[in-house]
């Protein structure tokens, strides 16, 4: 990959997959594991021991994924990969902002630790719905009421819904009756729904206190689905992110419109690689390992 004249995007995942092994040795990883431990989160120890039950918990999964992704980002840059644009899915947006130079790794980690703690306190759940278009799922959620909403627009026929357990079950039943297939997600709360309003409000002061630097590369916001370069605008979007739908199809389409030819998933798992390949054939989507191997 080094030396090839391509426009490369780094894509950072959310908490859908947790680290099941330590990321490559890096300065940023070591610093962030130490900072997390000082905040009472011995994430490096838990990852090493394979404490998966702990790491699946929202308040621990989010900082663990952030550290894994940033260590891998440092490894790719050290291997000569030159990026031209970044994007992140949900939690991954914080990693993207660090990669683009708007935030320091330490600033992002401290916000994410609090983000995970606040989001873990809200009860509810999420389910992926395949085979149905987003418009139909929005209509189903609308009929059921405010207790359930479309949280992620991940593909032409793949959405994620989020809400209170009773409303979520009703929406799943309606989706299956309409010909969809539901897959419960291993998360503890109704992320990216109006039910996260109080958690979002509690996080606002910490985000507001940050000074966003001008980005070194453009960021595609998962809230707007568009290329963003204004740090004030990016901060405003981040303030609403916990309750906003993740518009991943729009993100990928913006990458295409920006001339991206290769998108690298930088973090644990291969979820974004799979989603991207189902959205467009105009971009080569590769995993972290594939990119590091050249």
pLDDT single digits (tens) 176-210: 999 999 999 988 899 999 999 999 999 999 999 99
In the chain, % of residues over pLDDT 70:
98
Q: Are 193 and 124 in contact (CB under 8 A)?
A: yes
Q: How far apart are CA 99 and CA 16, in angstroms?
A: 20
For 43, 52, 61, 135, 139, the CA distances from 56, given in Å and listed in that order, are 12, 6, 5, 31, 31
pLDDT band at 3 (very low <50, low <70, confident <90, very high): very low
Q: What is the DSSP letter of 50?
A: T
CB distance 33 to 43 below 8 Å: yes
Longest dimension (CA), the chain: 53
The confidence score (pLDDT) of residue 2 equals 43
End-to-end CA distance of the chain: 5
Residue appearing with tokens 């991943």: 248
CB 260, CB 85: distance < 8 Å: yes
pTM exceeds 0.75, yes or no: yes
> Looking at the annotation, which residues are catalytic?
90, 192
Backbone angles phi, psi at 75, to 5 degrees: -65, -40
CA-to-CA separations, 193 to 176, 190, 243, in angstroms, rounded: 21, 6, 5
Residue 281: which pLDDT band, with cuts at 50, 70 and 90? very high
Question: In sequence order, which residues have a C-beta less than 8 Å from that of residue 78 and are 6 or more positions away?
Answer: 26
Domains of the chain (ranges, CATH numbers)? 8-121+194-292 (3.40.366.10), 125-184 (3.30.70.250)
> Measured between alpha carbons, how far is 66 from 91 in angstroms, rounded to an integer?
8
Whether residue 1 is predicted with pLDDT greater than 90 in this model: the reply is: no
């Amino acid at each position: 990959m080094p030396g090839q004249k391509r426009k490369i995007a780094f894509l950072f995942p959310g908490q859908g997959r947790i680290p099941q092994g330590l990321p490559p040795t890096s300065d940023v990883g070591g610093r962030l594991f130490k900072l997390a431990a000082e905040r009472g989160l011995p994430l490096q120890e838990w990852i090493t021991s394979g404490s998966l039950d702990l790491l699946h918990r929202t308040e621990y999964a989010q900082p663990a994924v952030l550290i894994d992704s940033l260590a891998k980002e440092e490894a790719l840059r050290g291997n000569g990969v030159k990026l031209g644009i970044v994007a992140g899915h949900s939690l991954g947006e914080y990693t993207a902002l660090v990669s683009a130079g708007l935030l320091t790794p330490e600033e992002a980690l401290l916000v994410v630790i609090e983000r995970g703690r606040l989001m873990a306190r809200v009860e509810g759940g999420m389910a992926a719905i395949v085979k149905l278009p987003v418009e139909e799922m929005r209509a189903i959620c609308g009929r059921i009421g405010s207790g359930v909403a479309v949280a992620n627009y991940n593909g032409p026929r793949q959405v994620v819904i989020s809400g209170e357990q009773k409303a979520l079950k009703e929406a799943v039943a309606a989706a299956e009756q309409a010909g969809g297939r539901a897959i419960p997600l291993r998360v503890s709360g109704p992320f990216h729904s109006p039910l996260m309003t109080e958690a979002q409000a509690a996080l606002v002061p910490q985000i507001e206190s940050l000074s966003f630097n001008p980005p070194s590369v453009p960021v595609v916001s998962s809230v707007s689905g568009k290329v963003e370069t204004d740090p004030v605008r990016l901060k405003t979007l981040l303030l609403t992110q916990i309750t906003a739908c993740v518009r991943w199809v729009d993100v990928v389409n913006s990458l295409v419109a920006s001339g991206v030819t290769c998108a690298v998933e930088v973090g644990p798992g291969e979820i974004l690689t799979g989603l991207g390949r189902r959205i467009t054939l105009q971009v080569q989507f590769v995993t972290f390992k594939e990119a590091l191997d050249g």
